[in-house]
Amino acid sequence: MKHHKHRPPREVLIDGFDARGGGQGLDANGTRWSIRGAPAGALILAVGRNYDGTRLALVKPSEDAVPPPCGVFGVCGGCQWQEMPAQRQRDEKGRMLARLLGELGGEDHGVVSAGEPYGYRNKIELTFGTARYLLAHELNTEIKRVGRWLGFHAPGRFDRIVDTPDCALASPAINAVYARVRADVYASDLEFWDCNEHTGFLRNLILREGLDHDVLVALYTAPGTEEQAAWLREHAPGWGATCVGWFENQTSGDAATGDLREVLVESGRGLSIAASLGGIRFQLSPTAFFQVNVAGAELLVDVVRRYLGVGGSVLWDLYCGAGLLGLANADRFERVIGIESVEPAVVDARANAEFNGIVNATFVAGPVEKLVGTLVTPDAVIVDPPRGGLHPDALKVIAGLAASAGTPGQPDARVLVYVACKPTSLLRDGKLLRAAGWVCTDRLAVDLFPQTAHIEVVTRWVAQRAGHLSPGQGGAPPLDAGSPG
């Protein structure tokens, strides 16, 4: 096994970002480091193995530095980039992507975003616990580690809670309801969950916002007594939520999961709220997959639609979640076929199709890599895989579509829109797509997650019979970073 040497702390001037979102820069010896949570332009004191650094201190902020608005910034693990202005964040993401993905080819349309750089999240998930993650200034003070705490998990510490009074990324409506729930549970004598002893009552809290600032609350607890039930029935109506569900979790695991024990506040539509995106209406249950930044996701839907072009006979929507991208394009294809491995998401996708009167979309539950080879061949394909990218067996089938374009019985040209949440996975898959004959024509990134290092990249690929179309034809003009929004 290779042993990495610990270096003494070094000052590093950050000049950009790597694909993991680590700040890159040189120390005085000219050695390049990667440091998580290090803002561009800043001088950082870092320590680490083999120049994979941990930030010890901010020696000198960048000239355009802004004060982070959040009291637990850098600790809860949700945001890494609050010290940089939003435009700088986008510029740095764009530079990183141009360096990383340039070899795939295609026109680079930059990075776009929509809505506010804070308060954009329509869903947060918090955890109750008995061990607090102490911040540097809280060590050796009267604040004790053991107690009753509600907030986010400290990164890498499943057993420590960062006591979080509000979240700068969450919408104002979510923070308002959260503040009331938090005040009530702290004022109560209900026990919080001890994840080591597997004792206590309150476990997880999900808050989700839909249309008209409606907020859904899902509270996960250990199996409750009549006394605890009475407390919940008395207090839940005062939280200002549209609906509140109480779920009992019999397991010892961390996840927010369980059986519905009671709807504590009823919206008239059961335990769900309405949402709208890409011209499609959704009914959201507490755990249904839905884009968390709706203003940003509108851009995403728009660019996918433009990249698909005029439409055709069959559209595959692979890794379809609750059907958003396929449903938003069902008006331009005779048939849409969605595949998704999570069964409840498929149930939601079918319900969403019905709710919107869309009759030409079929959703199939199962792994893409098993099912994709059995489908009727498409004119266009959307893939929106998880961070790991395409499964090799799925990639093989999709790559093979390039060779068959223009052969007897097949469309003359095919379009593939690859939506990626991890650019390095896109790079790996993109190289194989290129080798198989797909040509990347366009690339645009949507900054769905300001203040974080995450970025969503949309690429458009074409495969065609030689001489039939030139790359870039057959689609609508792409959105680019110069467009409004």
Ligand X SMILES: C[S@@+](CC[C@H](N)C(=O)[O-])C[C@H]1O[C@@H](n2cnc3c(N)ncnc32)[C@H](O)[C@@H]1O
What's the CA gap between 482 and 237, in Å, rounded?
47
Q: Could you say which of 188, 283, 341, 362 contacts ligand X (CB under 6 A)?
A: 341
Q: Where does residue 279 fall: left (phi above 0), alpha (psi -120 to 50 degrees), or beta otherwise?
A: left
* Phi, psi at 98, each rounded to 5°: -65, -40
Distance separating alpha carbons of residues 293 and 242, to the nearest angstrom: 20
Name which of 289 and 355 has its Cβ closer to ligand X: 289
- Nearer CB in complex with ligand X: 265/421: 421
Toward ligand X, which CB reaches closer, 92 or 384? 384
394 to 433: interface string for ligand X, x by CB under 6 A: ---------------------------x------------
Region binding ligand X by CB under 6 A among candidate stretches 36-44, 165-173, 339-347, 431-439: 339-347
What is the enclosing helix (H) or strand (E) of 242? none
Size of the site for ligand X (CB under 6 A): 21
Rounded Cα–Cα distance for residues 46 and 32 (Å): 12
Single out the segment in contact with ligand X by CB under 6 A; choices: 45-53, 224-232, 268-276, 383-391.
383-391
Could you tell me what percentage of the chain is helix, strand and coil, using 3-state DSSP and rounding each to the nearest 5? 25, 35, 40
Cβ neighbours of residue 470 under 8 Å, at least 6 residues apart? none
The only residue of 166, 340, 348, 429 in contact with ligand X, by rule CB under 6 A:
340
| Nearest distance in Å: CB 456, ligand X | 9
Minimal distance in Å, beta carbon 297 to ligand X?
7
205 versus 325: smaller Cβ distance to ligand X: 325
**Quick check: 342 binds ligand X (CB under 6 A)?**
yes
Please tell me whether residue 355 binds ligand X under the rule CB under 6 A: no
Could you tell me the smallest distance in angstroms from the CB atom of residue 308 to ligand X?
Answer: 14
Q: Give the span between the Cα atoms of 72 and 68, in whole angstroms.
A: 9
DSSP for residue 309: T
3-state secondary structure of 421: coil
For residue 456, state whether it binds ligand X (rule: CB under 6 A): no
- Residue recorded with tokens 């360096």: 99
Shortest Cβ 284–ligand X spacing (Å): 12
Q: State which of residues 102, 147, 279, 386 lies at the interface with ligand X (CB under 6 A).
A: 386
Among 273, 345, 361, 413, binds ligand X (CB under 6 A): 345
CA dist., res. 3 & res. 360, Å (int):
57
CB 305 within 8 Å of CB 382: no
Evaluate whether 451 touches 169 at the Cβ level (below 8 Å). Answer: yes
Nearer to ligand X, 45 or 371 (CB): 371
418 touches 394 (CB < 8 A): no
- Interface residue with ligand X among 261, 281, 391, 396 (CB under 6 A) is 391
From 126, 195, 368, 453, residue interacting with ligand X (rule: CB under 6 A): 368
Nearest to ligand X by Cβ — which residue? 321
**Count of CA atoms in the C-beta half-sphere (13 A) of 321:** 18
- Minimum gap (Å) between residue 377 Cβ and ligand X: 19
Q: Residue 118 CB, nearest distance to ligand X (Å)?
A: 23
Considering the complex, what minimum distance in angstroms separates the CB of residue 290 from ligand X?
Answer: 7
Residues between 272 and 331 that touch ligand X (CB under 6 A)? 289, 291, 319-322, 324-325
Instruction: Please classify residue 61 by burial: count the beta carbons closer than 10 Å to its beta carbon, then call 0-12 exposed, 13-18 middle and 19+ buried.
Output: middle
Contact 53, 7 (CB under 8 A): no
270 binds ligand X (CB under 6 A): no
Tell me if 356 contacts ligand X by CB under 6 A: no
Q: Quick check: 352 and 364 in contact, CB under 8 A?
A: no
Binding site for ligand X (CB under 6 A): 289, 291, 319-322, 324-325, 339-342, 345, 367-369, 384-386, 391, 421
